[in-house]
Amino acid sequence: MAEFKKRIVIVGGGFGGLSAAQALKNSPYEITIIDKTNHHLFQPLLYQVATAALSPADIAMPIRAIFTANKNIQVKMDEVWSIDIENKFVEISNSKISFDYLILALGTRHSYFGKPEWEKIAPGLKTLNDALVIREKILLSLEEAEKLNDKTGIDKYLTFVIVGGGPTGVELAGAIAEIAKQTMMKDFRNINAEKTKVILIEGSSRILSSYPESLSKKAKIDLEKFGVKVILNQIVQEIGSDYVRIADKIIKTKNIIWAAGNEAPSLLKSLHTKMDKAGRVLVNQDCSIHNHENIFVIGDAASFLDKKGNLLPGVAPVAIQQGKYVAKIILEEKKSGMRVPFTYMDKGNLATIGKAKAIAEIRGLKFSGLFAWLTWSFVHILFLIGYRNRVRVMAEWIWNYITKQHGIRLIVGKAKNN
């Protein structure tokens, strides 16, 4: 009689899901990875696709290609519609998949704070499609400004507003300022670079609020040197097709990018367990959910409190470490009470502001400038999936640095200006 193999279902092919799958790939289990796309995406560099510095293929890799040699792993490009935790199966478009262990690495989605209609006007940045939409909005606006040739109405095409001063918002603001004020201006004949405006709006008292205050201040100074106007302590009140309103001020713009909020996917409600205000699942110290030691939620979708009661941040290193941890638990087949609690090893924070400008905190050491930028570059190259991607990204960066040109500037109809 053939030996029964336990089944592991991993929902999500991001950092957490991929980390768990890689740790389990040589195990005796049958593993199914389910994701809405067919690729693993390196999200930290997604903003560079949005700003024409990299192409989509540079930062993504088909999940099937990653596990070609692992016959115990199958990949399904599909969406999980519901989870039956008692009968141990997930439901996809045309079938049910049973599991002995379930790992949910779903990430988060954009949150517009009760204003979902804003999404069509102010796209966020989570997927390759989001990046292409933003890229083409930027490029189309520059083309419209070129046609208007300094006539009335040109300002709204040369004004770029980013809502949210976290890492994504800061990196986008710096990159857009670089291309809109410097890199691409030599290609246009009728646009005055001095008329371009990049505005970063943050609701709290400082940008990069999860970073040390000294580094937040340095990042703000660097952004302002790049020509970015940073507005603090202001909440967006209204967004229209060609404007943003904050308090009693209206900013006319055709380019609004949302980087202000996240919320967990509604699928997690299928677990019928406790959640926090953002919809993240309150997990145990072993990343399992209450009363179900075989179901784990990791990464951004999990609300995990460390020993000091602090919520772990929604960053890639947390998801990667949790993925490896959960895989180890499954391999050891230890019961919930016998498991060593998960401990996050915080190796630091990095954020880039622009060319040769970045901030870093690594194990208590704070630094900025060129060395921080080189450190940021090295770390991101190191964590990219695939040797080919690493080489291509490095080559693009070297080319961009030397020539001051962003080469991925094609408009192919993915986006339309409102």
What pLDDT is attached to residue 81?
96
Residues 205 and 240 grouped into a single domain: yes
Is 258 within 8 Å of 118 (Cβ atoms)?
yes
Average pLDDT over residues 160-181: 94
Please report, for the domain that includes residue 248, its CATH number: 3.50.50.100
Coil, helix or strand at residue 239: strand
What pLDDT is attached to residue 414?
52
Residues 205 and 278 grouped into a single domain: no
Residues 291 and 309 grouped into a single domain: yes
* Phi and psi based region of residue 78 (left: phi greater than 0; alpha: psi -120 to 50; beta: remaining): beta
What pLDDT is attached to residue 416?
46
Residues 26 and 87 grouped into a single domain: yes
Residue 390, domain member (yes or no): no
What residue numbers bound the domain in which 174 lies? 116-260
| Region of poorest pLDDT, from 123-127, 354-358, 399-403 | 399-403
Pairwise pLDDT comparison (335 vs 64), residue with the higher score: 64
Span 291-312, pLDDT tens digits: 999 999 999 999 999 988 999 9
Residues 11 and 142 grouped into a single domain: no
Residues 132 and 250 grouped into a single domain: yes
Residue 325, domain member (yes or no): yes
CA angle 361, 405, 43 (to 5 degrees): 45
Residue 418, domain member (yes or no): no
Please report, for the domain that includes residue 324, its CATH number: 3.50.50.60
What pLDDT is attached to residue 336?
67
Report whether pLDDT(6) > 70.
yes
- Residue ending a domain, choose from 338, 353, 373: 338
Residues 217 and 325 grouped into a single domain: no
Per-residue pLDDT band for 406 (boundaries 50, 70, 90) equals low
Task: Please give the mean pLDDT across all residues of the chain.
Answer: 92
Residue 393, domain member (yes or no): no
Residue 272, domain member (yes or no): yes
Q: Please, which residues have CB within 8 angstroms of residue 231's CB and are 6 or more apart in sequence?
A: 199, 200, 201, 202, 246
Residues 96 and 186 grouped into a single domain: no
Residue 18, domain member (yes or no): yes
Cα-trace Rg, the chain:
22
Residues 136 and 238 grouped into a single domain: yes
Whole-prediction pTM: 0.92
Nearest by Cα to 407 from 238, 163, 216, 183: 183
Q: Which of 171, 178, 361, 396 is catalytic?
A: 171
Residues 96 and 157 grouped into a single domain: no
Give me 386's structure tokens. 């695939």
- Residue ending a domain, choose from 260, 276, 304: 260
Q: Please, which residues have CB within 8 angstroms of residue 346's CB and are 6 or more apart in sequence?
A: 317
Coil, helix or strand at residue 388: helix
333 is catalytic: no
**What distance in Å separates the CA atoms of residue 261 and residue 115, rounded to the nearest whole number?**
12
Report whether pLDDT(412) > 60.
yes
What pLDDT is attached to residue 417?
44
Average pLDDT over residues 17-31: 96
Span 63-97, pLDDT tens digits: 999 999 999 999 999 999 999 999 999 999 999 99
Average pLDDT over residues 402-407: 73
Report whether pLDDT(275) > 90.
yes
Other C-beta atoms lying within 10 Å of the C-beta of residue 387: 8
Pairwise pLDDT comparison (415 vs 358), residue with the higher score: 358
Q: Residue 350 class from Cβ within 10 Å (0-12 exposed, 13-18 middle, 19+ buried)?
A: buried
Give me 325's structure tokens. 């941890």
What pLDDT is attached to residue 337?
72
Residues 100 and 128 grouped into a single domain: no
Report whether pLDDT(407) > 80.
no
95-112 burial code (b ≥16 CB/10 A, e <16) = eebebebbbbbbbbbbbb
Q: How many domains does the chain have?
A: 2
Residues 334 and 248 grouped into a single domain: no
**What distance in Å separates the CA atoms of residue 321 and residue 341, rounded to the nearest whole number?**
12
Average pLDDT over residues 163-177: 96
Pairwise pLDDT comparison (54 vs 152), residue with the higher score: 54
Q: In 210-315, at which residue ranges do the beta strands (DSSP E only) sit?
A: 228-231, 236-240, 243-246, 249-252, 255-258, 262-263, 281-282, 288-289, 292-297, 302-303
What pLDDT is attached to residue 130?
96
What pLDDT is attached to residue 339?
92
- Residue ending a domain, choose from 245, 260, 275: 260
Report whether pLDDT(257) > 80.
yes
Residue that is written with structure tokens 């389910």 in the block: 34
**What distance in Å separates the CA atoms of residue 287 and residue 336, rounded to the nearest whole number?**
10
Report whether pLDDT(265) > 70.
yes
